[in-house]
């Protein structure tokens, strides 16, 4: 006769066997999974190492290309802007080293740089746009004409154009020295600009921007700069809006211009002025502007080419 004790022992043995089987099975499966993960990890590590090697090789090539462009840049632009004058308009975050390199290239091209006006962060601050608009109407020289647009960028651009650019069809300044002093004094007093000493009007303009594309209200600030550049372009013999890598994004000033077909039709842009190739492109784009042409240059997908063709430009 089978006793209760026998039944209990049998049940216990069954459960013990089941537990041992599960444990052994889990260990086996776990080892398989662990081995598979280890192999996958090694493959991913190799891919990462390969990508790093490719990145380093590409960076080395780009650095070599930029060094070459820096060395031949003065030769590439020689004589392209003979007899032309250029004024620099820069943002507060523009890199001084890039501005200085660009100024040296302009000199190599035969251009005279007539001075620089720095647009402070207050100039593009949406919270101070009404103050800037009111100041424009108060300081506007008697003979100056403002754009029809009512936004602060267009109006301030019109005011700056009256000081910084000679007449489109001549060499005469648009404002008297007294008017220029009065306007600049007012803009400086309210913290909107910082002009260089001995600033004189020029035929062409470069608006050089920095890297503040990720800040709050970046698109609003970029829009102000894009409209200023557009007014400068229409007021003189031509203008180029030059930004660093990233400026062609939606929140960058170059990106704002390129997204507007009417703005991009006349104003030239460069989206890699932080490279030697970009600075050469800026000078050649100015020469193209002086000949009545325009283009979008750089490394972004919205650019036509890295730079204008110096042969075609030189023939203009």
User: Residue 127 — φ and ψ, nearest 5°?
Assistant: -70, -15
The tally of domains found in the chain comes to 1
Q: Read off the pTM.
A: 0.78
Characterize the bridge pairing of strands 85-91 and 112-119. Answer: parallel
* Within-domain flag for 16: no
pLDDT at 304 over 90: yes
- Of 146-150, 183-187, 221-225, which gets the smallest average pLDDT? 146-150
The whole-number pLDDT of residue 20 equals 47
The predicted model gives 85-102 an average pLDDT of 96
Calpha distance 159→133 (Å, rounded): 10
For the chain, give the mean pLDDT: 84
* Within-domain flag for 281: yes
pLDDT at 188 over 80: yes
Is residue 193 within 8 A of residue 119, CB to CB? The reply is: yes
Percent of the chain with pLDDT over 90: 61
Which residue range forms the structural domain that includes residue 93? 78-314
* Within-domain flag for 61: no
Query: Nearest 5 degrees, angle CA 74-CA 75-CA 77?
Result: 70
* Within-domain flag for 18: no
Calpha distance 226→222 (Å, rounded): 6
Closest listed residue to residue 231, CA positions, set 306, 136, 115, 139 = 136
* Within-domain flag for 27: no
* Within-domain flag for 161: yes
pLDDT band at 158 (very low <50, low <70, confident <90, very high): very high
Locate 119 and state its tokens.
């647009």
pLDDT band at 44 (very low <50, low <70, confident <90, very high): confident
Is residue 169 within 8 A of residue 127, CB to CB? The reply is: no
DSSP string, 128-150: GHHHHHHHHHHH--TT----S--
């Amino acid at each position: 006769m089978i006793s209760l004790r026998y039944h209990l022992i049998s049940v216990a043995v069954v459960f013990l066997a089941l537990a041992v089987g599960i444990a052994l099975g889990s260990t086996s499966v776990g080892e398989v999974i662990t081995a598979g993960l280890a192999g996958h990890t090694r493959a991913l590590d190799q891919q990462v190492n390969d990508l790093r090697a490719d990145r380093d090789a590409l960076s080395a090539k780009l650095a070599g290309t930029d060094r070459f462009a820096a060395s031949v840049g003065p030769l590439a632009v020689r004589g392209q802007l003979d007899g032309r004058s250029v004024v620099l308009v820069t943002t507060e975050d523009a890199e001084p080293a890039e501005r200085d390199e660009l100024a040296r290239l302009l000199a190599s091209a035969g251009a005279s740089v007539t001075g620089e006006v720095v647009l402070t962060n207050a100039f593009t601050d949406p919270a101070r746009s009404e103050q800037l608009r009111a100041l424009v109407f108060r300081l506007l020289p008697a003979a100056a004409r403002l754009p029809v647009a009512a936004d602060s960028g267009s109006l301030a651009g019109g005011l700056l154009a009256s000081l910084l650019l000679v007449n489109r069809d001549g060499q005469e300044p648009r404002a008297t020295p007294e008017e220029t002093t009065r306007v600049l004094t007012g803009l400086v007093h309210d913290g909107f600009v910082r002009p260089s000493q001995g600033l004189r009007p020029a035929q062409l303009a470069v608006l050089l921007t920095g890297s503040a594309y990720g800040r709050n209200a970046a698109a609003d600030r970029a829009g102000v700069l894009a409209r200023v550049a557009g007014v400068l372009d229409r007021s003189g013999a031509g203008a180029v809006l030059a930004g660093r890598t990233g400026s062609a994004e939606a929140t960058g000033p170059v990106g704002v211009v390129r997204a507007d077909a009417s703005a991009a039709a006349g104003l030239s842009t460069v989206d890699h002025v932080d490279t030697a190739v970009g600075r050469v492109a800026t000078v050649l784009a100015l020469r193209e502007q002086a000949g009545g042409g325009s283009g979008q240059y750089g490394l972004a997908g919205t650019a036509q080419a890295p730079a204008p063709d110096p042969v075609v430009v030189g023939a203009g």
